[in-house]
Every structure is written in structure tokens, then in C-alpha cells.
Amino acid sequence: MVPERIGPVAPEIYSRGVTATGSTVALRGWTAPDLDAFRAWLRPEHDWHCWDGPYYPVPIDAEADSLVTSLARDNGLIWAPQPEGDHSSCCQDREQPGSSCCAERPGIPPSESQAAPPRRLVVDVDGELVGTVAWYWESRETEWARMGVTVYDPAVRGRGIGRTALALWTSLLFERTPWVRLDFATWSGNRAMLSVGTALGFVEEARFRQARVVEGVRYDSVVMGVLRDEWCARTRRQAPGEFEPGSRV
């Protein structure tokens, strides 16, 4: 069954930046083809599951379908689940830590179609979905939001795409809200994500020692944050899309 679009033909471009390697990165809204692409990346055989919160279970089909259905509804689209084949986990043959990088999986937030800014946007390179950015409440009562970035496609890693997307997302969230701070959570085995946070001016604010278990090995849980004033001061000195190459995000 072909998904039917009932929303606008052209998705809104929320932000755009260029990496030092020349890749143009856009944060944009969703289209019907994005939903199928996103659902395909949620399948368990993809290696990003081994780096983005690998201590969490990979979503089962029903959970993945529910997330995509919610995205479709909130973006004025119609999506129908496609039949799934037999997919095995990638983590048995995972690469060495640091060879891939995604932000910690933020989970599936409740639907908030009226939320501003959007809860999840497409990371677009050359018109294709290669990842997503998202945010969720760590403490809604105190406007404490936690965000994340995930680059699904291993073919585009190493070009600074995730780093640029995280910078664009940080700027966008601060521009659209009165929030005082933003942070992301990751684990000590994801060295690339830690390096990206440091390069963007995020500060390590918490480290819970040996709190995460990945394939029988204990790692630290790490939270890195930035304050609005810190980010604004930094972006006045450097455009968010202008970064040096070499990041594995």
C-alpha cells in the first residue's frame, strides 16, 4: 500500500548548515517517503542500534510501527505498516567503539501535535533522510529538555553531518523557546559523541560510573549540557554549520 500524502508537498526547512567537508545539512519536516525510510532504519540489523543507547532493547515491530504512525499523524501524513522480513541484530558483529556515533536514544515521547518546536525532525543530506534530531522532557515542570541526534546511514558518517545537525538543533531549540539549558545523554563507550559535545562547547555535567552495560561490559553514563548564554556567546563567534572535519557522527 502506497502512503498517501495529505499534508503540504514541500516540507518546511527549519535550519540549514554546511560542514567543513562541503556537505549541506538541513533540518526539515517530514514527507511520506521519509516515513518508510525511517521505519526501515528502525529495523534491528542496522549498526546505529549498537551506539545509540545499546543498553535499551531494539524496538519490536509494534513499537516501531506505533512511532512511525504517530509521526505521520502529527505531520499530517498517512502511513501504513509494510510487511517485515526476518531481521537479525547487528550487535553481534559490531565495530569497535568510536567507529560510529549517535546520540543516546531518547525513547518514544508522547504525541504532542501542538508542541513547538517539533519533537523530531529529519536530518537531510542531498534530499535524503540520513538521520533525525529529537528532544523530550527530562523535567517539564522546570522546562528541562534533553535532546539527541542520530545518524542512521553509515555511508555518510565521518563528514561532520551529525555534529552540524546537533549544532543546528541546539540553535533552533534556543531560538524557539525560553529554555535556559539543553543537554544530551550518552555513554562512555561512545567516544565520538563525547568528542562532538566537547567540540561544540558542551560541558560534562554528570557521570554515573559503571551505570550502563553493553555486551557484558560496564560503562559510565554521561550527560553533557550547555547554557543558553554559553551557546549564544559561542555562536556569535562561529556559525553553527562551520566545523572542522573528522567527526564520526
d(CA 235, CA 175): 12
Average pLDDT over residues 207-224: 97
Q: For the chain, what is the mean pLDDT?
A: 83
SS3 154: helix
Confirm if 132 and 27 have CB atoms less than 8 A apart.
no
- Residue 135: pLDDT band (50, 70, 90) is very high
Q: What Å distances lie between residue 194 and 97, 157, 170, 248, CA to CA?
A: 12, 16, 16, 11
Query: Is residue 201's pLDDT more than 70?
Result: yes
C-alpha radius of gyration, the chain, whole number? 17
Average pLDDT, stretch 108-120? 61
Q: Per-residue pLDDT averaged across 25-40, rounded? A: 95
Give the model's pLDDT for residue 239.
Answer: 52
pLDDT at 155 over 60: yes
Beta strands in the chain (DSSP E): 13-18, 24-28, 120-125, 128-139, 144-151, 181-187, 203-214, 217-227
Q: Is the pLDDT of residue 218 over 60?
A: yes
In this predicted structure, the answer to whether residue 21 has a pLDDT above a threshold of 60 is yes
Q: pLDDT at position 235, please?
A: 84
pLDDT value for 32? 93
pLDDT at 134 over 70: yes
Residue 247 pLDDT: 36
Residue pLDDT, tens place only, 57-109: 999 999 999 999 999 999 999 898 876 554 444 454 333 333 333 444 544 44
- Confidence class for position 249, pLDDT limits 50, 70, 90: very low
